[in-house]
Structure 1
Amino acid sequence: MKKDIIRPLVICVFQKDESILVAEGFDPVKGDHYYRPIGGGIEYGERSADALIREVREEIDADIYNLIYIGTVENIFTLNGELGHEIVQVYDASFTDPFFNDKDEFEGREDNGEAFKL
């Protein structure tokens, strides 16, 4: 997490029945688990929808369609003892492969190779 900047992010809620798809993380400083939808950083010159398609492909090797913009939220938080600040574009979308709709849990990977549970 870079200090003293506001990060532009994009996430997708992937609604299924009464639930949304989230990745599980852990903050060792707080000793708490946290949950957030799949997504990531928007690169300079990249549209948020394109960033979401790229991030989903990178994190869980899945293709998505039917992207629907929901809104924007501002998130100020503490993670690993450091202050973070994000402006987050939020979407809903559908997976092209029904595998992702049928599983209750599966694994994804961050850019650094670290695995996470969904």
Structure 2
Amino acid sequence: MHTAGNYFNKEIRPITLGLVYRGEDILVEKYDDLIKAQTFYRFIGGGIQFREKAEIALAREFREEINANINIISHKATIENIFSFGNSDEHEIAFVYEIQIDEHFYLLDKFEKTENNAINDVYWINKKKFISGELVLYPDGVINYI
């Protein structure tokens, strides 16, 4: 059972995520939660630093992780996400933007993203696979905006 004392050292993490379309496909990175034995997907993005605007953080994250420039089309959603990943309880506020990226990425079906010495696979996947529930897309609720 969780008590208030368990969370005194935890903080809400602001993140920013980029929704990129290629026709009916969306650009997602793949994750595995070994505790839940679940594979899931998420848009590329990451943490917002103190005094950094979400749009600037998103551009920085895309440069750092896949060496891409972005063009922001629109703000799609702000989503509060309370979840567990592995053995850790988390709480995020996600700013989701529809964006475009460098043209050559649209020609690739799969590539790798590097973050903190970890490599994740990035795919273009038809959004219908998420809408149907065949594949899992996080954060919860983001499915309403694709």
TM-score for both structures, normalised by structure 2 = 0.74
Partners of 1:117 and 1:10 lie apart in 2 by 19
Identity %, equivalent residues: 38
- Greater share of helix residues, 1 or 2? 2
Partner deviation per Cα, 1:29-76 (whole Å, 9 max, x = no partner): 112111100000000000000000000000101111134211201111
> Could you say which residue in structure 1 is the equivalent of 2:23?
17
Partners of 1:57 and 1:82 lie apart in 2 by 28
> Could you say which residue in structure 2 is the equivalent of 1:104?
109
TM-score for both structures, normalised by structure 1 = 0.91
Answer yes or no: is the 8 Å Cα contact 1:75–1:85 preserved in 2: yes
Moved over 4 A (4+): none
Answer yes or no: is the 8 Å Cα contact 1:10–1:51 preserved in 2: yes
Gaps of 5+ in 2: 1-6, 123-146
1:88-103 paired onto structure 2 within 5 Å: 88-95=94-101, 97-103=102-108
Q: CA offset at residue 81 of structure 1?
A: 2.1
* CA RMSD of superposed structures (Å): 1.5
* Residue-pair matches, total: 115
> Could you say which residue in structure 2 is the equivalent of 1:71?
77
Q: CA offset at residue 26 of structure 1?
A: 1.1
1:28 aligns with 2:8: no
Gaps of 5+ in 1: none
Answer yes or no: is the 8 Å Cα contact 1:7–1:85 preserved in 2: yes
Answer yes or no: is the 8 Å Cα contact 2:72–2:97 preserved in 1: no
One-letter amino acid of the counterpart of residue 77, structure 1 = F
Partners of 1:67 and 1:42 lie apart in 2 by 19
